[in-house]
Amino acid sequence: MIAALLLLPCLGGLAAFCLPSDRFRPLLLPVCGLGHLVLTFLVIQGGQGTPLSLAGNWIAVDPLSRLILLIVSLLFCGCSFYAVGYLRYRIAWGNRIFVSCLLIFLAAMSLAAVARHLGLLWVAVEATTVASAPLIYYNRNRFSIEATWKYLILCSVGIALAMLGILFVAYAALAGGAQVSLQFDDILRGAASYSTPWLRAGFVFLLVGFGTKAGFAPLHTWKPDAYGEAPGVVGALLAGGLTSLAFLALLRTLQIMEAAGDGAVAREAFLAMGLVSLGFAAVFVIRQPDFKRLLAYSSVEHMGILAIGVAIGGVATFGAMLHLMNNALTKGVLFLSAGNIHRRFASKRVGEVQGAITLVPVSASLFLLGFLAITGSPPFAPFISEFTILRGIFNGGHYLTGGLFLFFLAVIFIGMGSTVLSVVFGTPTERKGDPDYRETMVTTGTPLVLLLIILFLGIYLPEPARKLFAEAADLLEVRP
Amino acid sequence: MDNYNPANLLLLLVILFNFFLLGSSRLNACIRSVAIQGGILSLLPLFLHGFSGHSLILAGGAFLLKGLAIPFLLLRAIRQVHIRREMEPLLGYVPTLLLGTLATAGAFIFSDRLPLIEIHRGSLFIPVGLATLATGFLMLITRRKAITQALGYLIFENGVFIFGMLLAEAMPLMVEAGVLLDLLVAVFVMGIVMHQINREFSTMNTDQLSSLRE
């Protein structure tokens, strides 16, 4: 089952590369996306009783993998339908590389989600970097080159640092006289006897390395550029899929630190990173003139919220797991609807884009609702998860953290609000833009469905889903 | 310590190439020295772990990729865009060389204080690894051309590779292969992006890449 899950997008990518027709090639995306989603559900269902594993336990599915796999698969499936509409609009540009890279990107993300070996995890995460770089460059102008180069260099160097961290963890085993292995279960079993200084050094490098990929401040500098210049559908996959995955890698390092009995240090580091990210996001969100870059800072903010949730522990960890899903899907809504607005106005600057609600009514409404959802307004699901994290913070007696958390969230709400409102309302600007652009079923349907999922999860959390989140949270709460 | 001697000689050569890279402005020579550095490193597993199947394949793979394929891609990239020299680096060659020397000295002093296990004490692997990492970082932050930044990244990866040598048993061959493959594809994509940068800006200086900012 897992093998099929990994092979399907790979084969799809290969087929996309070989297929000669630009018109029919994008149809491979929903086929693979739906297939991947079905396989993911099968893996999640089948995985409850027996642990699924493959290739000498290098690949296995635990509750965290299930959660991340579901997030990535849901988001990709939605984006794949949207991409068909988008690529039809951009038919003149060709899409061979774009479609192939999207599918390879999906394969790499799935591999990273189920990797049970630190080396394999690293290989998969680096593969996501190289597979997504051509996607960012799709618009082929000087801005997208700049964004691609920054993304490629920063993430590659970041990931190289993570490799150093992995080597340090292995050295900690060597120095502690434990079995030297990077298989994750072996590490968790032996971590108690690891040499502490090397393990801590490894943790720092892993945190910086995968933190660059997840986009924690101040390592987030590639994010606004890449999200701003990439097509909306790529932005959605980066902000919802890739960052969740990098966060998974960070959670793995947290698990190792917990197993070594050094979890407190790791949690403090997570808390600091989280608060700094919230602070950075709050500063840059205010008067942000570019609504796609605005979403990038929102992504930095939500990485911060996730880190804080995990750092506090207890009920906040459950909130963070829930928030991983909510953030990914809401980012999908925002980026996809922002992409539609961007195409209608051929601009993403606030002064030039006004009154979107009269020209692209559905996308603009979705953008507005997505904004309300991501900033934690009820009845959407991010409200539940952010509130759960907040409850965890105050229950744990971290009043200063709680106060700062609320303050930054309020600032970000106001900052984002002023930009979003001026994009959505006001008198429409008609200076440039594409008056022939029409919203279609696929380009508005996808964000609508994602928004409905968010709304549904906010009103009612079904038992299987609750169990999925609770099991993932339990994995992080195991203390020796 | 005696069985480390050939390896130590190779590691000293690696340091010499670090200095050469920091001080040279000719891109062609720089790419070639990164290639030779990668080639030297690919011999290390043989000296360290003997002629086992694992080390032979690792050495062969690393030699093919680090010594031949990646430099070939980079040389092709600079031929396509007709550039020969790194003009005006952000920091002159002499200051970067001085910084490199300081970093290398620091690496040797620092690695004496690390809690290493008995057989690695006094070995050159750790200081040379650290010094190479520092060289890569210096290249990344002081040079403006996309190609020299890519070279900085490669030197950085070489530093990580030296560390990896100490832990060959932790890294299964499949993973090593994946790491090298990722590196190759990353350089391939970087080469394409460089070509596009050159086409769009008619220069490969990354300081042109400064329109995206707050």
What pLDDT shows up at residue B64? Answer: 92
Measured distance CA(A181)–CA(A171) in Å, rounded: 10
- pLDDT > 90 fraction of chain A, expressed in percent and rounded: 72
Give me the phi and psi of A183, to 5 degrees please. Answer: -65, 135
- Asked if residue A248 lies in contact with residue A118, where contact means CB atoms within 8 angstroms, the answer is no
pLDDT band per the 50, 70, 90 thresholds, residue A54: low
For an interface test with A, the pick among B119, B125, B193 (most A C-beta atoms closer than 10 Å) comes out as B193
Which 122-151 residues of chain B touch chain A by CB within 8 A?
133, 140, 146, 149-150
Answer whether residue A127 is part of any domain. Answer: no
Token pair in block for residue A432: 């440039």
pLDDT band at residue A48 under the 50/70/90 scheme = low
Please check the confidence at residue A251 and state whether its pLDDT lies above 60: yes
How distant is the Cα of B98 from the closest Cα of chain A, in angstroms?
A: 23
Q: What is the pTM of this model?
A: 0.94
Peptide bond into A464 cis (omega under 30): no
Partners of B163 on chain A (C-beta within 8 Å) are 164, 167
A200 located within any domain: no
CA geometry: angle at B96 spanning B90 and B99, to 5°? 135
Taking the CA of residue A124 and the nearest CA in chain B, the distance in Å comes to: 9
Q: Are A65 and A17 in contact (CB under 8 A)?
A: no
In a domain, A10, yes or no: no
Q: Report pLDDT for B1.
A: 44
Mark yes or no for CB contact A164/B160 under 8 Å: yes
Nearby residues of A55 by Cβ (< 8 Å), 6 or more positions away: none
Instruction: From first to last of the 214 residues of chain B, give the pLDDT tens digit.
Output: 445 577 888 999 999 999 999 988 888 899 999 999 999 999 988 888 778 888 888 899 999 999 999 999 999 888 887 777 766 778 888 899 999 999 999 999 998 888 888 777 778 889 999 999 999 999 998 888 888 899 999 999 999 999 888 887 777 877 888 888 888 888 888 888 888 888 887 777 777 777 777 6
In this prediction, does ipTM exceed 0.85? Answer: yes
Q: To which residue do tokens 């930009």 refer?
A: A419
Q: Is residue A419 part of a domain?
A: yes
Task: Please give the single-letter amino acid code of residue A124.
Answer: A
Q: Which residues of A touch B211 (CB under 8 A)?
A: 142-143, 146
A386 inside domain = yes
How many domains are there within chain B?
Answer: 1
- What pLDDT is recorded for position B2? 47
Chain B CB contacts of A13 below 8 Å: none
Mean pLDDT of A398-414: 95
Q: Quote the minimal CA–CA distance from B139 to chain A in Å.
A: 12
Q: Say if the Cβ atoms of B166 and A171 lie within 8 Å.
A: yes
**Among B157, B167, B209, whose Cβ lies nearest the Cβ of A160?**
B157
- Of residues A119, A146, A174, nearest to B212 (C-beta): A146
Q: Answer whether residue B145 is part of any domain.
A: yes
In a domain, A187, yes or no: no
Residues from chain B contacting residue A164 (CB–CB below 8 Å): 133, 160, 163
Give me the domain span that covers residue B96: 2-207
Mark yes or no for CB contact A120/B178 under 8 Å: yes
| Contact flag A123-B175 (C-beta cutoff 8 Å) | yes
Of A188, A175, A180, A133, which Cα lies nearest the Cα of A156? A133
Tell me phi and psi for residue A299, to 5 degrees.
-65, -40
Contact call for A174 and B167, based on CB within 8 A: yes
A140: left (phi over 0), alpha (psi -120 to 50) or beta: left
Residue A252 vs residue B50, higher pLDDT: A252
Structural domain harbouring A295: 262-480
Per the domain annotation, does B164 fall within a domain? yes
What is the phi/psi pair of residue B40, to 5°? -60, -45
- Count how many domains chain A has: 1
- pLDDT at position A3, please? 85
- Tell me whether residue B212 is in a domain: no
- Asked which of A234-238, A316-320, A349-353, B195-199 is least confident by mean pLDDT, the reply is B195-199
Q: Which residues of A fall within a CB distance of 8 Å from B157? A: 160
Q: Is residue A32 part of a domain?
A: no
Residue A310 in any domain: the answer is yes
pLDDT tens-digit series, residues A195-243: 999 999 999 999 999 999 999 988 999 999 999 999 999 999 999 999 9
